[in-house]
Chains A and B, each alone.
Chain A
């Protein structure tokens, strides 16, 4: 209990194979990771489980990734969120910032960048500062 448990990442992605790959990559990187395929499932999942970071697709079958962040914050869940998107136009990036996403990463994912981002969340949290804007 006292020693550090692996960090938990929730992956929200409707393409099942892609979701599985991302989850597997996190598991391989020493994280504990779970996947769901919709925003609604993500909200449900977060009612019973705690995550250190959420990685969500923008376009999902039900509510969008950004709506998910809004809904989650409304329920008091402060888990830092990273949005991934195949079509991150400037308006989306701006709106993602407004709803408090950590960053928007384009698809296909650059995993080194994704890891760096997730790690930056850890560092920020260990330094007990509120997760702020993305690193440069």
Chain B
């Protein structure tokens, strides 16, 4: 919140320096009861499963939080309610944003405090006195102000996220344009390679070095083509064309796009007749990204298994490998756009694959496995999906 907005909201709730004075003289009446107010505040949080879930550090954290909340209550009543106050209390708001506390809890939490302070004003000050009326007004004003400060930190966070998304969208558009422009040069490279190969065949030249480098260029061109395809798909957000499809068919067709070194063995374990309801093209694309990732994760040799089956009300397709696995510190980030841990990666493959799965109402996750990595696609079965869309 800017100083200007702060001044504006202060004026709107009617908060003045006089309100600060009133709250200051109220503070000694509240202080003896502060501990009880705060115990009740946390009792309410602990009684609610979702609110309690925000407290991850157990009793020790609650004890610590109670002390900080005492400090907060002092600051609330003593002020001064200046720009330093705004900054300090915005910081407290941001702590809650950071732990993803749903902002609706803030209303109830503030009201809980409001009720206690009003009760104290009601009981400790002469009934019907101007002092009592002024105190109740100031209490309500300062808590309105507090709620505005807290909620504004949630708004700031959303704005930040939106800006980040816009930046990403711009990067996305730019990369799609570049990807598109790369298609002709890549097409020329590819067709020249094709012509070279034909020529070598005609001349009946068989030379291991020529073959090796021809294959190497062809492979790298193919990598670039895959990258541009991923970029374009990402930018384009193709709508799904769903139909009932045999999983084995999707997997078999995917395997045709996969080039793996000889010592990497890919085992397919797909139940005959297993069907899913989805967009076979896009799923192939997602699956190809997972299998390619697995191939690249293996040190030139190893095993990959592609398996599928029913799981709850979904069809799952798993791609597992016996490679080094994903380090724990990277597990949360591997699905992020533009995140990559590979020297030649672009950070598109997994983000794209996840988007395809989510477009189907399904998921893509990294599952725990004793060795290597196991990625799991789930696609809801039509019945479950239909039920969901009815709701």
| A residues apposed to B, CB below 8 Å | 15, 17-18, 21-22, 24-25, 28, 86-87, 89-90, 107-109, 111
Contact = CB atoms under 8 A, between A and B. Distances in A.
Nearest to B229: A106
Contact of B190 (A15, A86, A90, A108): A108
B356 to A, nearest CB: 15
B97 interface: no
Interface stretch (B178-186, B291-299, B308-316, B381-389): B178-186
Nearest to B202: A28
Main secondary structure of the interface of B (DSSP, over half): helix
Interface residues of B, number: 19
B236 interface: yes
A18 B186 CA distance: 9
Interface of B: 180, 183-184, 186-192, 194-195, 198, 221, 225, 232, 236, 238-239
Contact of B191 (A86, A90, A111): A111
Contacts of B192: 21
Given A87-B183, A108-B191, 19 more contacts: A15-B184, A15-B187, A21-B191, A21-B194, A22-B191, A25-B194, A86-B180, A86-B184, A86-B187, A87-B232, A89-B236, A90-B238, A90-B239, A107-B187, A108-B183, A108-B187, A108-B189, A108-B221, A109-B187
A107 B232 CA distance: 12
A61 to B, nearest CB: 13
11 contacts: A18-B187, A21-B194, A25-B195, A28-B198, A86-B183, A87-B180, A90-B239, A107-B183, A107-B184, A108-B225, A111-B191
Nearest to A110: B190
List the 9 closest pairs (A to B, CB-CB), nearest first: A86-B183, A21-B191, A108-B187, A108-B190, A15-B184, A18-B188, A107-B187, A107-B183, A17-B188
A17 B195 CA distance: 13
Given A89-B236, A90-B239, A108-B225, A28 B195 contact: yes
